[in-house]
A and B are shown apart, each in its own frame.
Chain A
Amino acid sequence: MFGEKALELIREFNRNKDGNLGPYNEDGVRQVLEEMQVLYEANQNDVAQLVQDTSDQTSLTAVQIRHDSLQRNKRCLLAYLYNRLAKIRSLRWEFGSVLPPDIKNNMSEKEVQWFTRYNRSLANYMRSLGPGGLDLTQDLQPPQNVYIEVRCVEDRGELELNDGSKVLLKKNSLHYLPRSQCEHLIRQGVLKHIT
């Protein structure tokens, strides 16, 4: 049946639905496009015949079936690409502007380009808010205190704070830091919030 390869792409995405981004299936996408090319050419031939000889309508059904298959393949491809992009967009909010290399390896060249552009748009937008810009990825929950207590989970070297003082982030060390400066590190799993 037509459309099987496209469905395989969708199944593959669905298996990875809750996990991280799976590798971009370039081969699968190419195969679907090839199938579409074949369908399109076959339809062109049949339609040309239909126009020439209007008495013979028997190939009409075949044209319809191929046309539906083309539409279906298109839908599957678009859904595959769109849902991957949606996932990549949410990664920006989870990991920050720099993605871990193994995730980046799973993206296609165009997806990397898109990610860079999305980053830039987001940064420009955040800069345009208010007098000094506003970091939207900050304070996803309403903050209670200015300072919070954190424990370091991994060695991260020195962290320079806004006031110029430096903190050494060593494994299992405890710190009392401004919330605004360590929220990102907590989300990235470098620090742990202690209450």
Chain B
Amino acid sequence: MSLFCPPGGGMTENYLSIDDILMSSEKIPSSFQVSVKGLGFLDPSTHKKDIDVGTKMDLPLWLAGSLAHSRRKFITTDFTKPYKSTYREILKADASVVDLHKLGPHFYSFGQQLLTLEHGESILLAKTLVLAFSDRFRRIMDWSSNALGCDTSQRMDGLDEVERTLYRIGQKSLQSFHQWEVGQSRKLETSEFVSRHRKRKRDAVD
């Protein structure tokens, strides 16, 4: 039973979701179209008092999104590297060998958020995201529903957070099915929280 706030998914964020907050703190290159009075200290490369017109800065998505969406265009934004055409070509060639976690742990959801910023290549990016996901999903599905009792940490390395969640769900149902097959599913078990808590305590005593 998971009571934690799930990620929003899609183009909107879930206000209380930890994953969404982490995702929206990633930075995107932006350049200021207006000058900002008195906030020059936000740009560590200069000692000016104000931010001038044309200053280039990496702003976190939560700020860039709001500034780019306001009625007066405060800033213009660009895609980060993993979403530019070079990487899009790589993903198109064979998405399943790419280490998405390295490109950004929240590759898909961040990409979706980028789509809401007006950018000439938005449609191309959207297509790439869908293609990459469908390309990789077949393998993730295959792994997660066939590997019982193997060490899976290595495979998890290259997966984006969404894919990891899917993978874990698959593994969990595989294990539950296996337990049912061998007749263990009726057995009462110690709660996971409790046993983890005990282990930690035992470590502390040793």
Contact = CB atoms under 8 A, between A and B. Distances in A.
Contact of A87 (B3, B21, B34, B72): B3
B188 to A, nearest CB: 4
A54 B8 CA distance: 40
A13 B5 CA distance: 13
Given A68-B67, A83-B18, A141-B186, A95 B5 contact: no
A126 interface: no
Interface string B186-201: 1111111111111011
Nearest to B190: A189
Contacts, number: 126
B18 to A, nearest CB: 5
Contact of A20 (B37, B70, B200): B200
Contacts of B130: none
A180 B15 CA distance: 41
Given A11-B22, A64-B67, A100-B197, A90 B188 contact: no
Contacts of B39: 62, 65
A95 B194 contact: yes
A1 B21 CA distance: 16
Interface residues of A, number: 50
Interface string B126-153: 0000000000000000000000000000
B18 A17 contact: yes
Contacts of B66: 64, 68
Contacts of A86: 3-5
Interface in B14-51: 15-18, 21-22, 25, 34-39, 42
Contacts of B189: 186-187, 193
B18 A64 contact: no
A59 B187 contact: no
Interface string B61-94: 0110011001010100000000000000000000
B60 interface: yes
Given A65-B39, A79-B17, A189-B194, A141 B188 contact: yes
Nearest to B65: A68
B22 A188 contact: no
Interface in B172-206: 183-198, 200-201
Interface in A88-119: 89-91, 93-95, 100, 102-103
A141 to B, nearest CB: 7
8 closest residue pairs by CB, A with B? A94-B193, A193-B188, A189-B190, A94-B191, A86-B3, A61-B36, A59-B37, A186-B188
16 contacts: A1-B63, A3-B62, A11-B22, A20-B193, A58-B37, A61-B34, A64-B67, A68-B67, A72-B63, A87-B3, A94-B191, A94-B192, A141-B185, A183-B188, A193-B187, A195-B186
Given A10-B22, A87-B3, A188-B190, 5 more contacts: A3-B25, A17-B4, A68-B63, A141-B185, A189-B195
